């Protein structure tokens, strides 16, 4: 049978944790004798109460279903010294709520004192059962779908209210019933979720440092998946790429909770147990089983912005836009209808290095297509009179565009002297040459230091009124990790008035293109992807540069207004 237990806990008998009351009897004694004429002085009466010190915090949070062990307390008295402490109260670990433990101590003179500890048992997502809502996950199974007005949702209906995604129970020979999710062939943005009601959230703070774990199997279609966890809108972890999973049979996927925290997830107000979809959103059927959250140590590296890098995936559609072209790099060879290799060391008119004093020789052999990714590999090897090889590809004469939203999803190389780029040149370059043709750099990174390898640059190059090259642009850095540690989406929004650059959906720079010296940016431009080695900007590799280095590109997409 399918078990969706969204917070993992030990298999313990359901029980109420009862902290027993320890009774301590205290007493005194007296004496007698024949009084004398001179009374013996009596000590002053003891009226000072003992002092109780709690071990641990006075207010603690405890996850539902986990056995509770109280930290206890100690007591001292200025006359009697250490005293026994009597605790009272119960903590029902199977029922979310607030419970009070009271600690009491009495000295030999009968002076009594008390202290209290508040224990808050937080709701555990473990109680959710597939196919039926309960008090916590009362919205149950559902999906969002861009095919509905305003990305409307459908819930607990198997997807009847969503045109592009559906779900049902399916029989597995070994596992029994599992959950099966189907994406239509329309390629519309849609994702499956397990959700609380709009009025319910879960405090999942105890799961910081832990993992979200589930099993996945691809029945048909592409095996690349993305997920996220949502908290109260507009809070979300952001899109988290899982890569290729479950293509060859059931595969267990482990997602560190802190990676999602680094992406913006607020664990104190979670309202989805999981949101998941096939990344390419088309003609994919997959199955899920054993979805659970696993507790961690409570630490969140992402709080300081120094946590692990997080993959980012952009939407497959934008409101008011249509995708007019893309290369998703499927198959096993570069699509020659889209791309042409540029070969050589860039020597022209006694100048070599592609105008930048680069050190590589570009070859087609350094380009591969596999698992939905284009990979350009820079190598340290002698070829064509050069000590390094790499690849450079372009869409010149095949795919070119004026204006639009352009997304390039890529994971970059790193190292001193390494220079990856996703950029564009004007189709007019063969007639007016550069820089009069114009250049739009969607992404450039120069390796060598941590800060350089966290920074992407967006730039335009053009010919000014005097015919000389001008350039201007901006840059931004990622908060966590290097650009080589995760996939990021490098974008431009280009229209008749400006070009705007974004990293992972966040704009970081804009340039106007309405002035008379920027007319080239209203013409057709084609794409180039390459990894240069050396050059005027990054400098040459050094002894610390490791080869080979790779740039992986997941897709290039062009959207234009409807």
Determine the Cα–Cα distance for residues 162 and 148; give it in Å rounded to an integer: 7
CA dihedral 60, 61, 66, 67 (to 10 degrees): 20
**Per-residue confidence (pLDDT) for residue 516, from 0 to 100:** 92
Q: Out of 3.30.2420.10, 1.10.1660.10, 2.60.40.10, 3.40.50.300, which CATH number does the structure's domain 17-23+47-122 have?
A: 2.60.40.10
Q: Are 249 and 293 in contact (CB under 8 A)?
A: no
Q: How do the domains of the chain map onto residue ranges?
A: 17-23+47-122, 128-304, 321-561
For every one of its 562 residues, what pLDDT tens digit does the chain have, with 9 covering 90 and above?
555 555 554 433 433 333 333 333 334 333 444 444 556 666 678 889 999 999 988 888 776 666 788 999 999 998 989 999 999 999 887 676 789 999 999 999 899 999 999 887 765 444 333 444 444 555 678 899 988 988 889 988 999 999 999 999 999 888 888 899 999 998 888 999 988 766 578 888 878 888 888 889 999 998 888 888 988 877 888 777 787 889 989 998 888 888 788 767 888 888 888 999 998 888 999 999 888 887 766 665 433 334 567 789 999 999 999 999 999 999 999 999 999 999 999 887 667 889 899 999 999 999 999 999 999 999 999 999 999 999 999 999 999 999 999 999 999 999 999 999 999 999 999 999 999 999 999 999 999 988 889 999 999 999 988 888 888 888 988 888 899 999 999 999 999 999 999 999 989 899 999 999 999 999 999 999 999 999 999 999 999 999 999 999 999 999 999 8
Phi, psi of 328 (to 5 degrees): -95, 0
CATH architecture, domain defined by 321-561: Sandwich (2.60)
Spatial CA neighbour of 444 closest among 427, 463, 462, 424? 424
pTM, two decimals, is: 0.51
Q: Which residues are catalytic?
A: 439, 444
**Per-residue confidence (pLDDT) for residue 415, from 0 to 100:** 95
Phi, psi of 98 (to 5 degrees): -110, 130
Query: Residue 124 belongs to what H/E stretch?
Result: none
CATH architecture, domain defined by 128-304: Sandwich (2.60)
Neighbouring C-beta atoms of residue 194, cutoff 10 Å: 23
Radius of gyration of the chain (CA): 33
**Per-residue confidence (pLDDT) for residue 280, from 0 to 100:** 81
Q: Do domains 17-23+47-122 and 128-304 have the same CATH topology?
A: no
Neighbouring C-beta atoms of residue 44, cutoff 10 Å: 6
């Amino acid at each position: 049978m399918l078990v969706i237990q969204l917070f993992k806990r030990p298999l313990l008998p359901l029980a109420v944790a009862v902290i027993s009351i320890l009774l301590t009897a205290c007493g005194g004694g007296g004496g007698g004798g024949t009084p004398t004429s001179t009374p013996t002085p009596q000590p002053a009466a003891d009226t000072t109460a003992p002092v109780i010190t709690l071990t641990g915090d006075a207010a603690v949070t405890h996850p539902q279903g986990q056995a509770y062990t109280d930290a206890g307390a100690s007591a001292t008295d200025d006359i009697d010294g250490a005293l026994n402490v009597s605790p009272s109260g119960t903590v029902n670990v199977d029922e979310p709520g607030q419970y009070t433990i009271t600690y009491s101590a009495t000295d030999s003179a009968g002076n009594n004192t008390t202290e209290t500890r508040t224990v808050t048992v937080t709701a555990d997502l473990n109680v959710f059962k597939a196919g039926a809502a309960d008090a916590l996950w009362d919205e149950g199974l559902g999906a969002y779908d861009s095919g509905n007005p305003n990305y409307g949702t459908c819930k607990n209906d198997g997807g009847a209210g969503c045109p592009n995604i559906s779900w049902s129970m399916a029989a597995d020979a070994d596992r029994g019933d599992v959950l099966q999710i189907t994406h239509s062939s329309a390629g519309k943005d849609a994702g499956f979720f397990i959700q609380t009601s709009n009025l319910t959230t879960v405090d999942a703070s105890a799961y910081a440092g832990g993992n979200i774990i589930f099993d996945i199997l691809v029945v048909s279609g592409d095996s690349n998946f993305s997920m996220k966890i949502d908290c109260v809108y507009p809070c979300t972890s952001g899109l988290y790429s899982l890569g290729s999973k479950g293509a060859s049979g059931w595969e267990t996927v482990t997602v560190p909770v802190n990676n999602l925290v680094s992406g913006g997830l607020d664990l104190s107000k979670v309202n989805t147990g999981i949101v998941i979809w096939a990344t390419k959103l088309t003609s994919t059927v997959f199955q899920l089983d054993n979805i659970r959250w696993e507790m961690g140590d409570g630490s969140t590296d992402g709080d300081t912005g120094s946590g692990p890098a997080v993959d980012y995936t952009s939407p497959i559609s934008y409101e008011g836009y249509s995708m007019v072209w893309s290369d998703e790099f499927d198959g096993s060879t570069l699509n020659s209808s889209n791309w042409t290799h540029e070969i050589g060391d860039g020597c022209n008119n006694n100048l070599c290095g592609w105008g930048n004093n680069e050190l590589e020789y570009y070859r087609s052999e350094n380009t591969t297509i596999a698992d939905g990714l284009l990979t350009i590999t820079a190598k340290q090897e002698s070829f064509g009179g050069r000590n390094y090889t790499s690849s450079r590809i372009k869409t010149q004469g095949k795919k070119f565009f004026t204006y639009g939203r352009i997304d390039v999803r890529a994971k970059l190389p790193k190292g001193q002297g390494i220079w990856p780029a996703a950029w564009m040149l004007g189709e007019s370059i063969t007639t007016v040459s550069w820089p009069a043709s114009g250049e739009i750099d969607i992404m450039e990174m120069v390796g060598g230091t941590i800060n350089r390898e966290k920074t992407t640059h967006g730039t335009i190059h053009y010919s000014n009124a005097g015919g000389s090259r001008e350039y201007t642009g901006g840059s931004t850095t990622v908060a966590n990790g290097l650009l080589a540690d995760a996939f990021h989406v490098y974008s431009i929004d280009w229209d008749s008035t400006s070009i705007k650059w974004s990293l992972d959906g966040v704009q970081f720079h804009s340039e106007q293109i309405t002035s008379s010296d920027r007319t080239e940016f209203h013409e057709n431009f084609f794409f180039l992807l390459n990894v240069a080695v050396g050059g005027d900007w990054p400098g040459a590799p050094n002894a610390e540069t490791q080869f080979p280095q790779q740039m992986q590109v997941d897709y290039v997409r062009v959207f234009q207004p409807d």
